[in-house]
Amino acid sequence: MDITMIYYLVPALIMFCCGVYGFITRRNMIAMLISLELMLNAVDINFVVFNRYLFPGQMEGMFFTLFAIAIAAAETAISIAIIINVYRSVKNVKVDDLTEMKN
């Protein structure tokens, strides 16, 4: 069977949508962070697949992916640091508890 581009793109899109769904519905900040990670990885798959199938002569998509992975790592590091700070002050990582400023 021929593996065409669509076999990668559709799972990547599903992954992205799962990420968005998880980000919106999950109430635990760590779970939200995992959902964000899913979204970022879906982007990486897209870039690599487009590069590999459509433009095999160049490396732009691959390089973008490399940088995107590094950026995602930095983002996670910062988010985890902030979430730990929150945990120290409210002993919890549920977003439902972070509603002090609404009124």
Helix or strand (DSSP H, E) at 6? helix 6-25
The verdict on 3 binding other proteins (CB under 8 A) reads: no
Residue 15 to residue 33: CA distance in whole angstroms? 14
The verdict on 83 binding other proteins (CB under 8 A) reads: yes
38 touches 15 (CB < 8 A): yes
Tokens of 26: 């999950």
Residue 81 to residue 73: CA distance in whole angstroms? 12
State which of positions 21-60 bind other proteins (CB under 8 A): 23, 29, 32-33, 36, 39-40, 42-43, 46-47, 50-51, 54-55, 58, 60
* Nearest in space to 50 (alpha carbons), one of 86, 13, 76, 81: 13
For residue 74, the minimal CB distance to other proteins (Å) is 6
Interface with other proteins (CB under 8 A): 16, 19, 23, 29, 32-33, 36, 39-40, 42-43, 46-47, 50-51, 54-55, 58, 60-61, 63-64, 67-68, 71, 74-75, 78-79, 81-83, 85-86, 89-90, 95, 98, 100-102
